[in-house]
Amino acid sequence: MTRFNLRRVRLAPGQEHREALELELPAFEFGGQRYIAVPEQVAAELVVTRTVSGTLFTLAFEARLHGPCYRCLGDAVLDVPIRVREYQAAAPDDEELRTPYLVDGELEVSEWARDAVSLALPNKILCRPDCAGLCAVCGENLNEHPHEHESAASDPRWAALDALRDEL
Ligand SMILES: [Zn+2]
Ligand SMILES: [Zn+2]
C-alpha cells in the first residue's frame, strides 16, 4: 500500500510540493466481480499545496483494469484516468473539511486511489461497447457465434425484455 508521509514536506502558505509516486493499486470489487489493475503499480503525481487555511491534495494517474465483461463474462479491459482532490483544514472543526485519507500525518494514497477509481467506473464494464453478450436461450457467446433461435427471434416481446434488462 502506498502512503505519503506529510512530515517530509514543510510548506509555507502558497507553496506546493510535487511528488512522483509509484502507486500500488489494490484489486477492486465491482458488481460482485473482481477487477485487477494491470500493472498493479502505476506512475502517479501527488501535489500538496499549502493554503492559508489548510492543505490541498491533488492526485493524478491512469489505471488499466482487467476483469469480466458484464454481458459475456469475457475479458474486459478498461482505462480509467483519474484526477481527484482532497482538502484538509488546518483547524478542522468541521468534518466536511477533513479528508478521511489523512491518518497520523500520513496520506493513504492507495486507499484514496481505489475509492477514486470505484467512483469513476461506468455502470457496466464491457469487453467492447457493442458486446452482444450471451444468448438468453442457450448461453453461447454471441460475439463468437452470432445466431438466433427461431421462436425467440420472431417474438418481439423478447427484444423488449432484453432492452429493459440492459437498462437495469
Ligand atoms: Zn462482452
Ligand atoms: Zn443460442
Could you tell me the CA-to-CA distances from 11 to 14, 21, 89, 150 in Å, in that order? 8, 19, 14, 71
| C-alpha 50 – ligand 1 centre gap (Å) | 46
Mean pLDDT of 39-51: 96
Task: Mark the residues whose beta carbon lies below 5 A from ion ligand 1.
Answer: 69, 71-72, 74, 127, 131
Nearest in space to 4 (alpha carbons), one of 65, 86, 62: 86
Taking only the tens place, the pLDDT of each residue in 127-166 is: 999 999 999 999 999 999 999 998 655 566 666 777 777 7
Nearest in space to 63 (alpha carbons), one of 106, 126, 115, 17: 115
pLDDT band for position 99 (cuts 50, 70, 90) = very high
| C-alpha 134 – ligand 2 centre gap (Å) | 8
Taking only the tens place, the pLDDT of each residue in 3-20 is: 999 988 899 999 999 999
Q: What is the pTM of this model?
A: 0.79
